[in-house]
Amino acid sequence: MSVPMVSAGAPEVERDQVSPSPKPGAGAVRRKRPSWGRKQRLIGLAAVAPALIIVLGVMVYPVVFDLYISLNKSNGVSYVWRGLGNYLDLVADPIVQGVFLTNLKFLISVPLVVFAAILVSVLLFERVRGWKFFRVVFFIPSVLSAAVIGIMFKSTFGYNGPVNALITAVGGHPINFFSNANLAISVIVLALVWSGFGYQALIVLSGLTAIDPAVFEAAAVDGAGWWKRLWHITLPNIRRVLGFVFIINILYTFSALFGFIFVMTAGGPGYDTTTLDYLIYLKAFSGSDLGSGAALAVLVFLLIGLLTILQVKVFKVSEED
């Protein structure tokens, strides 16, 4: 009986041809699951997306559109390209120059507001009798709108108002405060000081409470009086807070007097009490010249930015002590 002959290399060939069955999913590419940090970022982006859209729509788009309008002569319906013509006309306009000088006069309110804020905040910090009551009373004007405050002061200093009634009672003659430019500016400045010192006082008070009480105790032990502590300890330690108060008040003077002017004087007599922000309104809406109004708004924005940079450098509010 013959035995079939098997070549020696046959088993090796078969072993080479037979391969183990692949494991399930071994040849597939593994997909990386998103990490928890990436999920958090996506959730965060989804959460802020509505607010971002609102900011872009309410703030960024109007600014860009204002820049476009400022380069055109426009009444809101038609647009005629002028390039920098509106800007050049505004710089050369004597009315704009006069209004700018008038705006500078209102800066007298800044040191008055800061002085009143320092005085009130120091008294509150020292906790004089009734300080809790006065803290509330001093802050009340800050809650009122500019229109309400303007009507109050216009009524108070009006020709038939209580101030003229008092002047008449002592034998004087009634004064028309709003027919004289200097008197009208003085009344507006008084309204600005009255409406703003309470809020500024709380800002200064927050700076005072941040000072280490041990500093005052050490100064008192060394024999430093109240005035010396005020000049050499209190004011130097709130330097940056005072710088911030100065900055926001100056910016307010150039950008937020519209309510007072609109209600109290309407910019009169003539343009003697007109401010830059009120002139923007007059040009853009009363004069139907949106191009000039938009260009003036851009110039005011650049002026405010320049003033902010200069004040930050002067007061060094961003540097460490």
pLDDT digits 0-9 by tens, 283-296: 998 888 999 999 99
Asked if 207 and 233 sit in the same domain, the reply is yes
Domain count along the chain: 2
Distance CA 127, CA 123 (A): 6
174, part of any domain: yes
How far does the chain reach from its first CA to its final CA, in angstroms?
A: 111
Asked if 118 and 72 sit in the same domain, the reply is no
The model's pTM is 0.80
Asked if 79 and 97 sit in the same domain, the reply is no
HSE, CB side, 13 Å, CA atoms: give it for residue 109.
27
Count of CB atoms situated within 10 Å of the CB of 290: 22
73, part of any domain: yes
Split at pLDDT 50, 70, 90, the class of 169 is very high
Domain boundary among the residues 47, 69, 86 is at 86
Apex 89 CA angle, 83 and 90, nearest 5 = 110
Residue-level pLDDT at 288: 83
Asked if 54 and 153 sit in the same domain, the reply is no
Split at pLDDT 50, 70, 90, the class of 32 is low
Asked if 218 and 74 sit in the same domain, the reply is no
pLDDT digits 0-9 by tens, 208-264: 988 888 888 888 887 777 788 888 888 888 888 998 999 899 999 998 899 999 999
21, part of any domain: no
Residue among 141, 112, 259 nearest 202 (CA)? 141
Using the structure block, give the residue that is written with the tokens 């809406």. 285
**Torsion 307-310-314-319 (CA) sign:** positive
320, part of any domain: no
Asked if 248 and 285 sit in the same domain, the reply is yes
Asked if 59 and 142 sit in the same domain, the reply is no
Residues 135 and 169 sit within 8 Å (Cβ to Cβ): no
DSSP state of 320: -
DSSP secondary structure, 174-216, as one string? ---GGGSHHHHHHHHHHHHHHHHHHHHHHHHHHHHHTS-HHHH
- Domain of 285, CATH number, reads 1.10.3720.10
3, part of any domain: no
Which range marks the domain in which residue 72 is found?
36-86
